Structures are given as C-alpha cells and as structure tokens.
Amino acid sequence: MDSGISNNSALHEVLNTLEVERKKIAETYKTTYILFGLAIVFMIIGLLIRFPTLGFLGFAVSAITGIVMHFRIGDDVKKYKMAYKTNVVGSALKNINESLTITPQSGLPEYEFRSSELFTTESDRYKTQDLISGTNDKTSFWFAEVHAEYKTETSTKNGTRTNWHTIFKGIVFVADFNKNFNVSTVVRPKGFGEAFGSWFSKNVFSFGNTDVIELENIDFSNKFVTYSSNQIEARYILTPAMMERILDLNGKCDETISVSFIHSKMYIAFPLSENYFEAPIHSSLLDPDLLSGDHSIVKFMHDIVHELDLNTRIWGKE
C-alpha cells in the first residue's frame, strides 16, 4: 500500500537526515556487541591458559567500555525515535487524512480503558503510547496502543515470585457514536471469561444488573456474547446492519475483537502482538516499504468509521 513516501519531497529530506543518525546509532550498537563478545573471549582465553587475572582484566575493560557506550547513546536513541514518530509517521498520516495527528508520549488513559468495560480484569500494570486522533467526515475518533497486565504471586523457597499476565495487548479504538446511551452495551468474544479460569471469577468489576442479550443474528451470537441491562437499547444499537458490519470488521482481524457502547462512545479492542510506529535501528529508513505496515493499520482504523457507517446520524445527542 502506498504510504505517500515516493511523492513527498519534504518527507524524503527528513528520512535522509534521520538515516545518518540511524547509521551512527546502529554502528555504536554493533561496536558494543563486539566488545561484549570480546569480553567473553578474553575470559575464556584467560581460563584456558590458566592466567585468570589477564582474562578478568580483558573481560572488565571490554565489558565496561561496551556498557558506557551503550548508555551514552541512550539519549540519541530516544531523540531519534521521537523524531521518527513525530516527523515521519506524523507526515505520513496526512496522506490518509489531513486531520490525523500522532502524540507519541500520550495514549488511552487508564480510566478510559477501565470505563470502556471491554475487560473485566483489573490491571496492575498499564502502558499506553502513540495516540492517534482525527475526524472522518462527521465522526471524531482516536486510538492508541495499550498493554494491560495483572499479577499473581507464587511462593518459592527464596520468598515470593511475581508473575505477570497479559489482559490485553493491542490497539483500542474509540469513536463518537453521537448518542448518549442510557446503559452500557458490551459485545465480547464467546468464551472470553473462561480464559481467566478461577482467578477471573474472583476479580470481576460489577456493572449492575447486566443480562445476556439474545440476538437474532446466529453468526453474531456464535461469535460474540452481548451484555446489557436494557434489551430495547441494546437492540436499537445492534441493528441487523450493525451486527453484519461488526462481523465483517471482525473477519478482517486475526483475533476476535471486543466492542462496547458506553455513554456517547463506541470502543473497539483489537488484540495485536506487533508494536507499530517504531523507528528501525538495524534496517534502512530509505526502504520504500518502510511505512507500509504502519500505514495499513492507520488506514484500517480510519476506515472503521465508514465500515460501521458511523457518519449516518440516526440519533442526535440528547
């Protein structure tokens, strides 16, 4: 998919400048790897010739030099990555929609992740980044990468060990649905709760008197379970056309999505293992396919507004 690099001279100039910086960083990393390798070689040679002092000195000098170089380049790496997201990804977004912006150090606030009701497990560790926002015709939308985890503790001979488990890793998409819902309506993958076993059953959030809504679309009911405390509103939202659109959208994803309608917003969680919008270190920025993956995911999110027909304002906000 064309990400607009070939027709953007200003972006080419930015990429050429950043490529110089990338090569410097890559060479520094390569040197540190060589130094760490030499450190091990010195130690092995020292032991083989039964001169451990020489081996230790060689190991220490090489390892310390490598560590110092690695830490010194740290600030340059942060600046390079930030410049890439702001100037390269930010510029490429304009080829999809002029309104699109990226804020690398922002994301989806944890309170909004919780209030989406897409997940019933409380997170003990929450990370988010790369907030992208914009408008598609009449509809405002935004999305960000999210990694939420919970922890369990197990006893060992040496004390307690903390184990981290992923609740969700991927992208959470939010759109203005132009309707102030009276209650929450949540659509989750079938079998969602069983994945957490007994721990899950003890750590659920309470959302009031929520019922499972039986819907007429058999394919939809085979794929999802719908929860709401208002049958009428849930059916008003999940029209036959909307259910078909959600099924079509889900069919384009590798893993089953989750959807919720809360207050005046629609939330969609896309489980993804890939980390998007990251600057390459060991491959060239001048690769014509550099932004193809990032461009595809943003275009996909942008087109959800049309996929789900969110610009058709069948309601007004009350």
The one-character DSSP state at 158 is T
Note the pLDDT of residue 47: 80
Evaluated on CA atoms 281, 287, 288, 293, the torsion sign reads negative
Note the pLDDT of residue 308: 87
Note the pLDDT of residue 121: 86
Going by C-alpha positions, the residue among 314, 138, 136 that lies closest to residue 239 is 314
Whether the CB-CB separation of 122 and 204 falls below 8 Å is answered with no
Enclosing H/E stretch for 79: helix 74-83
Note the pLDDT of residue 46: 82
Note the pLDDT of residue 197: 34
Whether the CB-CB separation of 102 and 277 falls below 8 Å is answered with yes
Give helix 9-48 / helix 74-83 axis angle, nearest 10°. 150
Q: What percent of the chain has pLDDT over 90?
A: 53
Note the pLDDT of residue 204: 39
**Token pair recorded at residue 91:** 């510029």
Query: Which residue ranges make up each domain of the chain?
Result: 1-95, 99-318
In tens, the pLDDT along 87-132 reads 999 998 998 999 999 999 999 999 999 999 998 888 999 999 999 9
Note the pLDDT of residue 192: 61
The one-character DSSP state at 89 is I
**Token pair recorded at residue 232:** 């009428």
Note the pLDDT of residue 59: 85
Sites in the chain below the pLDDT cut of 50: 1-2, 194-208, 316, 318
Note the pLDDT of residue 4: 55
pTM: 0.83
Rg of the chain, C-alpha, whole Å:
25
Note the pLDDT of residue 314: 52
**Token pair recorded at residue 74:** 């740290």
Strand, coil or helix: 78: helix
Beta bridge partners, 129, equal 145
The one-character DSSP state at 5 is -
Whether the CB-CB separation of 310 and 139 falls below 8 Å is answered with yes
In tens, the pLDDT along 141-165 reads 999 999 999 999 888 888 888 999 9
Note the pLDDT of residue 170: 95
Whether the CB-CB separation of 257 and 268 falls below 8 Å is answered with yes
Task: Tell me how far CA of residue 109 lies from CA of 147, 271, 298, in angstroms.
Answer: 12, 18, 20
Give helix 74-83 / helix 52-72 axis angle, nearest 10°. 30
